[in-house]
Amino acid sequence: MKKTGLWMALLLVLLAGCSSKTPKIDAYSWVMTSVQSMDAGGQAVAYGQRGSSTLEGAKQVELTCEAQGGTLTLTDQTNDRTYTGTYQQSQSDFKSTIYEVEVEGTSGVAVAAMTTYQDGTQDPTLILNLGDYTVNFFAK
C-alpha cells in the first residue's frame, strides 16, 4: 500500500513539473510572425522576420509584444508606433494559458502555449486575437 502511495505522489510531482512548461505571457519578449485578417479570408496581411505571406500587398512589419504586471505593450518599429493595453489571466491548464486582453479600446483574447514542430522541437507561442485580426508571436 505504501508503494502505491509513493508512486502516486511521484506521479503528481512529475505532472506538476510538466505544468511549469506552460508559457506565460509575461515570461517572454514576443516577436510577431504574422498578422491574419478575417477580411482577407485568414490570409497574412503582415508578416515578421520569420513569417511569410502569399497575399499580394502583405507588408513586412517588425512588431514586438511585452507584458508585465497586467500591462501589455505592442511596439511597431516599422511604423514607429506603440499600442498599450491590459491583460488578465482567465484560464490555465497544463497546455496553455488564456488571457482576456484590451488594446487601444479593442477587446480580445490571447493564448500562450507551446508549439510542437514536426521534428519534435517546441517553442513558446503567443496568439493574440483582437477584433478582425489575429497576431501570431514567437518567444524572442
At 94, is the secondary structure helix, strand, or coil? coil
Per-residue pLDDT tens digits for 62-97: 999 999 999 999 999 999 999 999 999 999 999 999
Q: Exposed, middle or buried by CB within 10 Å (0-12, 13-18, 19+), for 85?
A: buried
Report all structural domains of the chain as residue ranges with CATH numbers, in order of start: 2-139 (2.40.128)
pLDDT band at 51 (very low <50, low <70, confident <90, very high): low
Per-residue pLDDT tens digits for 130-139: 999 999 999 9
Q: What is the mean pLDDT of residues 122-132?
A: 95
Under DSSP, the state recorded for 14 is: H
